Amino acid sequence: MLTEQQRAIVKSTVPLLEAGGEALTTHFYNIMLSENEGVQPLFNSVHQQTGAQPRALARSVLMYAKHIDDLSGLGNLPAQIIHKHVSLQVQPEHYPIVGNYLLRAIREVLGAEIATDEVIAAWAAAYGQLADILIGAEKGIYAANAQAEGGWQGARRFVVAGKQAESVEVTSFILCPEDGGKVLVHQSGQFIGLRLEIDGKEVRRNYSLSQAANGESLRISVKREQGGVVSSHLHDKVQVGDVLEVFAPAGFFVLDSSDKPLVFMAAGVGITPIMAMLEQALKTQRPITLIHCSRSPAVQPFRAQLLALAQQHPQLKLRLAYEHEAVELPMQNVQVVAGMADARLLQSWLPEDKDVQAYFLGPVGFMRVAQQALQQAGVPAAQCHYEFFGPAQALAA
């Protein structure tokens, strides 16, 4: 348990983390991933190369140090970490490995004069406290998934029952249990993890579920990323009839159960979890505004499905922005503009009544604009929800 003196020591390192946290976490990942192959599948190599993962960890460590006296100040950050861990099947035995390398990185980057034995001991206690919190929360989710009807723990084999192009970049995969059993009813907006072997190496990735729960199958919709080893493998190699190992659904970015009007804002493949939310929401009478920004109609996933739903459901207002080209659509519930969507445009598309539940997802730049539009419009912060496809980042400019 952390002592008051140890808390004070951890807080005293905040200026150091603000100035050099990313250098510390970059060194941490370099030594851990080069020396310990057992944890390599849990980390996305692209996020390491771009620096997104070290930046995200640096922010998390800094936030933890700042709020060491009151962890409620961390907001949704622990939930983001916990659910990503569950989707990749992080286990208790992984935590000591990470902790040992983190303490070593602190010592090696800060130097022995700053990272004294007292500082290392304080951070060891702080890491131990955090690990206990995360392990306990993850254990509860694993147990709930295993005990639910149609649920499971660890990897379950699913057969690819369907493969469908949603745009020139995005392909959907319909997955059915090889054992013929039921599939637990996930919440709209959640994601699953996949365990694959590519070129003799194990890799794990998580993908949003793009279809509401039906108890029989799961659907993911994957964008082919430039240089993406896993996305290219799924697009080019995985065919109908193949078997994939799937981890149970996780995620806290889920549709609320209120009767407030809904606003969905997405850019590019960020539409995937929102498609599941939309499917569920259309079964109610809630007014819905869906804003989707894409480079062009050709790369927009689910374009035909969205237009059909707008025709079938008067409660749905569809707003489309295309960066490079736009086609006029003479449909009552649909508006289309050409050009990049800015905060002013997004705000103009919001309902007159700002007492809404808003969900937004996409590239970080778009998410910052969406958050700005919602804030300026006066949508309550507690009613604005977002998720990151990759490592969590700060949205404030």
Catalytic residues, which ones? 95, 138
Q: How far apart are CA 313 and CA 309, in angstroms?
A: 6
Q: Using only the alpha carbons of the chain, give its radius of gyration.
A: 22
367 contacts: CB under 8 Å, gap ≥ 6: 360, 361, 386, 395
Q: At what angle do helices 14-35 and 52-66 cross, to 10 degrees?
A: 140
Query: DSSP string of 354-394?
Result: ---EEEEESSHHHHHHHHHHHHHHT--GGGEEE--SSS---
- Which residue carries 């970080």 as its tokens? 364
Strands, E assignment, 149-215:
156-165, 170-177, 191-198, 201-208
Longest CA–CA span in the chain (Å) reads 70
> What secondary structure, in 3-state letters, does 10-77 show?
HHHCHHHHHHHHHHHHHHHHHHHHHHCHHHHHHCCHHHHHHCHHHHHHHHHHHHHHHCCCCHHHHCCH
382 contacts: CB under 8 Å, gap ≥ 6: none
Q: How far apart are CA 272 and CA 207, in angstroms?
A: 9
Three-class SS state of 287: coil
CA angle 331, 334, 335 (to 5 degrees): 115
At position 220, the amino acid (one-letter code) is I
Q: How far apart are CA 274 and CA 268, in angstroms?
A: 11
Q: How far apart are CA 138 and CA 130, in angstroms?
A: 12
